[in-house]
Amino acid sequence: MGASEMGASEIEPLVSTAWVTERLSDPDIRIVDASYFVPGGIAPALQQYDEGHLPGAVFFDINDVAIPGGTKDHTFPTAEIFAAKVGALGIGNHHHIIAYDHMGGACAAARVWWMFRYFGHDRVSVLNGGLGQWKREGRTLETVKPVAAPATFAAKDGGLIVRDRAAMEKNIEAGTWQSLDARSAGRFAGTDSEPRPGLRSGHIPGSRNLPFAVLYDSATQTMKSADAIANAFAGAGIDLDHPITTTCGSGVTACTVALGAYLVGKTDVAIYDGSWLEWGADSTLPLETGPAK
């Protein structure tokens, strides 16, 4: 079933620009701009939002919807923090959230999609093609910031997250799950430097590599077909019938790979939230370089 045919009770993980345009006045829809830049973070994303965003969209700051003073800017929040922050954005449990960004969903709409699902809310979708597709089609943008009435959002913790680097280290020998790195091949191999200072180069031993960009059409930044996505996982040496934990630079594009897996039927992918920002900064932790072994 395509997104344009989606019924009220059937929430697709991806929705089209046309589908969203038809529902801009729907009171049950909440649109969030989840853009995040690497490097740059939130500041350029806010500037982009101010210059033009989808009608009615509020800005979803992944650094704000996070544990204050965590080990990184967007340390994964508790259920209590998440509920309070999204409620303040005017989002309740009855709303269908549409998340978009400037990279077709990779940074950080898929992260927002994954967060809502983690906290028990499956009425959430990613705008396929994101802001770029919206602009290419000449669709309406606005600069006014909507004032959202606070809403009540109830969140419950899920189980598909690895918060502890020790668990990732233990898995090197135990092999309880497949560790899948979403960074570029050069960063994975250690031949390209990291965009964040102070980090070692390489990857967690035993990891496989599936660069998130492989899942997108390079011209449109829309997600590729299910067959192409399944082939990408297979090409990376990943068995979709076995547990997977994804990792990346800081826990953002790892969620893009989780979204790709979801599109081909793998709905239980976990995220290592600390990702390379945590692992690469700790010289006591082992690493490998070169292609996946």
Give per-residue pLDDT as tens, 99-122: 999 999 999 999 999 999 999 999
Active-site choice (248, 252, 258, 271) = 248
pLDDT of residue 293: 86
> If you write DSSP's letter for every residue of the chain in order, what string do you get?
--GGG--TT---SEE-HHHHHTTTT-TTEEEEE---BTTTBHHHHHHHHHH-B-TTPEE--TTTSS-TT-SSTTPPPPHHHHHHHHHHTT--TT-EEEEE-TTTTTTTHHHHHHHHHHTT---EEEETTHHHHHHHTT---B-PPP-PPP--------S-EE--HHHHHHHHHH--SEEEE-S-HHHHHTSS--SSTT--SSB-TT-EE--GGGGB-TTT--B--HHHHHHHHHHTT--TTS-EEEE-SSSSHHHHHHHHHHHTT----EEESSHHHHHTT-TTS--B-SS--
* Residue 77 included in any domain: yes
Which CATH number characterizes residue 68's domain? 3.40.250.10
Are residues 184 and 124 both part of a single domain?
no
Mean pLDDT of 33-62: 97
pLDDT of residue 123: 97
Are residues 103 and 45 both part of a single domain?
yes
Please tell me whether the overall predicted TM-score, pTM, comes out greater than 0.75 for this model.
yes
Q: How many domains does the chain have?
A: 2
| 248 has catalytic annotation | yes
pLDDT of residue 8: 37
Residue 4 has pLDDT above 70, yes or no: no
Q: For residue 31, what are the domain limits?
A: 3-136
Confidence class of residue 142 from pLDDT cuts 50, 70 and 90?
A: very high
